[in-house]
Amino acid sequence: MSKLDSKIPEGPIKDKWTNHKNNIKLVNPANKRLIDVIVVGTGLAGGSAAATLAELGYNVKAFCYQDSPRRAHSIAAQGGINAAKNYQGDGDSTYRLFYDTVKGGDYRSREANVYRLAEVSANIIDQCVAQGVPFARDYGGLLDNRSFGGVQVSRTFYAKGQTGQQLLLGCYSAMSRQIGKGKIQMYNRHEMMEIVIVDGKARGIIARNLVTGEIERHSAHAVVIASGGYGNVFFLSTNAMGSNVSAGWKIHKKGAYFANPCFTQIHPTCIPQHGDQQSKLTLMSESLRNDGRIWVPAKKEDAEAIRAGKLKPTDIAEEDRDYYLERRYPSFGNLVPRDVASRAAKERSDAGFGVGTNETGEAVYLDFSSAIMRYGKEDANVHGHPDASEEEIRARGEKVVESKYGNLFQMYEKITADNPYKTPMKIYPAVHYTMGGVWVDYNLMTTIDGCYCIGEANFSDHGANRLGASALMQGLADGYFVLPYTIGDYLAGDIRTGEIPTDTAEFDEAEKSVKERIEFFINNKGKHSVDHFHKRFGKVMWNKVGMARNKEGLKEAIEEIKAIREEFWKEVTVPGSADGINQELEKAGRVADFLELGELFARDALERNESCGGHFREEYQTEEGEAVRDDKNYTYVSAWEYKGEPSEAVLHKEDLKYENIELKTRSYK
């Protein structure tokens, strides 16, 4: 019998969560004080979980590698957070959010989880407003909304282009309150190095104090992993430099199945790479697609002249521009989902119409000139100047656009030295988010008892493609409204256990393995830095396991990754010592885990003989280049069990059942 029991409650989908909450065990307040919970990661999922668990009365120990919980990478999310509030009266409902998310995920997510997500989404907005999160408001003082890709309603709440920041600071405030009370013990600049399992249950972690280098033992009755996504497996991504898979990978190696590793989101609107010295890519929010129009020159010779620096985008006449998303997908236009928009950009660039001036020519335009004129005209009318000159309309329009997207435009200008009010932005897809992650059941528990996984780190809600503004929703849903209930059902069995001792054989052994690995890195004295390997490996991932994949390429990638991994263990060098800050040592541990994950990732992509969402296999496409799913054979979650080398991992399948939504070809035409 496989361990893959999704534990989806019985009953109609709209009653499942309510019934489940009514039937699971509770822990009374006096007993909660006797129970410790470890939370690894302090982003939206980890931060909200830590705060809520502490409010409920549990003793929480929270860990983050940054110098403060406020710096987790959720902070960089820009555009917004979805919620089925229907404040705009445009036909939104829990069912529609559920439907859009399942369809957007290309029918590869679990219905019951997604429905629950849509159901609690409205509570998130109420909670955040109560915490003092300053969402955008209209002149009547009510909350404003905007639209995101893959939907036809306005359900996205936002705070300029800094929604993630404001939501995370809300979590951080809630955490700070509990830290002040002593209910959360906060371990900043600490990295989880290993999980400790006692009698089959997660009972603690080994952590490294990144300042002193000390290896520490921490025990608890349950361990929650909220360590985010693994996009940095590609070296270049929009993730923070420190974002890593290690916490998820450590638990995978100790028994947690890893699901759908190949489901990665390539975000269509990022600033193109400038050259080989680049260490990090920057996202431009999807919200820009509300008003920006995406195009490339319709004539190849114009594209060539632009790449050669002989023509400027503003020289191209309107009729010589190809607004290819509006052309191919008239009903969704520039607001098609991310996977579709990314592939379309790649298709145009590969066909020779790209406008990038770097070596690759990879870039398309995101143009605000029509939006500027449209808003300018409206603003002039509102202020009683129907006869305003074109110049005045433009100036007014620029002001309106600035009020909506000012910080994003400023960010673009700082990086590229181009003024996007005057000339279109250049954008190109980049790795952004990972839908895959640690397999969890309906209670968000992994296949290790007492070990939970929430937020981007798990696989549960987005299927093969995540819709914009849904990551913030999921992180906060998991942390504020799901885990705090479901974890009680498990912890109810621990009210008499007492504190978990750390002077046991299990902790000894886990600590020993951590110390041995650190000593290895310090003493190896090889020829190359960690980044040297990470860059080479990232290129293999991007070229062969990136936006488009095929059988041959994936097979080659698996061999190449294996070879780089072997060389890494022989030739990596880590200067300095282990007894203090050593950022190279931190990177070495993380890249070692990425090198294992990368191979499993490619295997997963090779095994899935279909195209769905962010997973595009070149062999499976229509003549027009649209993804072709194989529902008969692949309507399942791939959950991999660790067995030593990645090549020996065993595949388990969780069949996905669609009882409320009919499986259909996804169309945005």
Partner 1 sequence: MSASEGLNLTLKVWRQNGSKEKGKMETYQVSDISPDSSFLEMMDILNEQLIEEGKEPVAFDHDCREGICGMCSMYINGEAHGPGEQITTCQLHMREFKDGDTIHIEPWRAKAFPVIKDLVVDRGAFDRIMAAGGFVSVNTSGNTQDANAIPVDKHDADKAFDAATCIGCGACVATCKNASAMLFVSAKVSQFALLPQGQVEAKERAVNMVNKMDEEGFGNCTNTGACEVECPKGISLENIARMNREYLKGSFG
Near partner 1 in 405-464, by CB under 8 A: 410-411, 414-415, 417
Dist. CA 468–CA 31, nearest whole Å: 40
- Residue 162 touching partner 1 (CB under 8 A): yes
Q: For the chain, first and last CA: distance in Å?
A: 43
Q: Give the shortest CB-270-to-partner 1 separation in angstroms.
A: 11
The residue (of 104 and 420) whose beta carbon lies closer to partner 1 is: 420
Q: Give the shortest CB-407-to-partner 1 separation in angstroms.
A: 8
Q: Residue 368, SS3?
A: coil
Query: Under rule CB under 8 A, which residues in 246-275 are in contact with partner 1?
Result: 274-275
The residue (of 159 and 464) whose beta carbon lies closer to partner 1 is: 159
Query: Under rule CB under 8 A, which residues in 307-346 are in contact with partner 1?
Result: none
Single out the residue of 583, 609, 622, 665 in contact with partner 1 (rule: CB under 8 A). 583
Query: Under rule CB under 8 A, which residues in 275-294 are in contact with partner 1?
Result: 275, 277-280, 282-283
Dist. CA 346–CA 353, nearest whole Å: 10
- Residue 314 identity (one-letter amino acid): T
Encoding tokens for residue 95? Answer: 């069912």
How many residues sit in the footprint of partner 1 (CB under 8 A)? 83
Q: Give the shortest CB-140-to-partner 1 separation in angstroms.
A: 6
Q: Give the shortest CB-535-to-partner 1 separation in angstroms.
A: 10
Judged by CB under 8 A, which stretch of 90-98, 461-469, 578-586, 588-596 contacts partner 1? 578-586
Dist. CA 207–CA 203, nearest whole Å: 13
- Residue 70 identity (one-letter amino acid): R
Query: Under rule CB under 8 A, which residues in 165-204 are in contact with partner 1?
Result: 165-166, 169, 172-174, 176-177, 179-180, 186, 188
Residue 48 near residue 479 (C-beta atoms within 8 A): yes
Q: Give the shortest CB-443-to-partner 1 separation in angstroms.
A: 17
Q: Give the shortest CB-58-to-partner 1 separation in angstroms.
A: 13
Say whether 189 is catalytic.
no
Q: Give the shortest CB-151-to-partner 1 separation in angstroms.
A: 20
- Residue 56 identity (one-letter amino acid): L
The residue (of 48 and 611) whose beta carbon lies closer to partner 1 is: 48
Dist. CA 84–CA 122, nearest whole Å: 6
Judged by CB under 8 A, which stretch of 61-69, 89-97, 318-326, 554-562 contacts partner 1? 61-69
Write phi, then psi, for 572 (nearest 5 degrees): -75, 145
**What sign for the dihedral angle of Cα 535, 537, 540, 541?**
negative
The residue (of 422 and 527) whose beta carbon lies closer to partner 1 is: 527
The residue (of 512 and 527) whose beta carbon lies closer to partner 1 is: 527
Dist. CA 152–CA 333, nearest whole Å: 11
- How do beta strands 184-187 and 59-63 pair? parallel
Q: Give the shortest CB-345-to-partner 1 separation in angstroms.
A: 21
Query: Under rule CB under 8 A, which residues in 364-393 are in contact with partner 1?
Result: none
DSSP of 433-499, one letter per residue?
Answer: EES-EE---TTSB-SSBTEEE-GGGB--SSTTSPPTT-HHHHHHIIIIIIHHHHHHHHHGGGTTT-P
Write phi, then psi, for 202 (nearest 5 degrees): -70, 120
Q: Residue 593, SS3?
A: helix
Query: Under rule CB under 8 A, which residues in 76-95 are in contact with partner 1?
Result: 76, 85, 87
Per-residue x/- mask for partner 1, residues 221 to 250, rule CB under 8 A?
Answer: -----------------x-xxx--------
The residue (of 69 and 598) whose beta carbon lies closer to partner 1 is: 69
Dist. CA 564–CA 559, nearest whole Å: 9
The residue (of 484 and 488) whose beta carbon lies closer to partner 1 is: 484
CB atoms within 10 A of CB 397: 24
Query: Under rule CB under 8 A, which residues in 469-488 are in contact with partner 1?
Result: 480-481, 484
Residue 597, H or E segment: helix 583-607
Q: Which of 652, 511, 649, 637 is nearest to 111 (CA)?
A: 637
The residue (of 72 and 344) whose beta carbon lies closer to partner 1 is: 72
Q: Which residue of the set 208, 289, 293, 338 is catalytic?
A: 338
Dist. CA 609–CA 225, nearest whole Å: 31
Q: Please give the DSSP secondary-structure letter assigned to residue 623.
A: T
Q: Give the shortest CB-300-to-partner 1 separation in angstroms.
A: 25
Single out the residue of 27, 37, 62, 75 in contact with partner 1 (rule: CB under 8 A). 75
Q: Please, which residues have CB within 8 angstroms of residue 594's CB and are 6 or more apart in sequence? A: 230, 232, 233, 244, 245, 534, 537
The residue (of 171 and 649) whose beta carbon lies closer to partner 1 is: 171
Query: Under rule CB under 8 A, which residues in 131-160 are in contact with partner 1?
Result: 131-132, 134-143, 159-160
Query: Under rule CB under 8 A, which residues in 493-552 are in contact with partner 1?
Result: 529, 531-532
Q: Give the shortest CB-575-to-partner 1 separation in angstroms.
A: 5
Residue 535 near residue 235 (C-beta atoms within 8 A): yes
Which residue has tokens 């509102």? 382
The residue (of 374 and 532) whose beta carbon lies closer to partner 1 is: 532
Query: Under rule CB under 8 A, which residues in 18-57 are in contact with partner 1?
Result: 48, 51-52, 55
Bridge partner list, 293: 367
The catalytic residues are 338
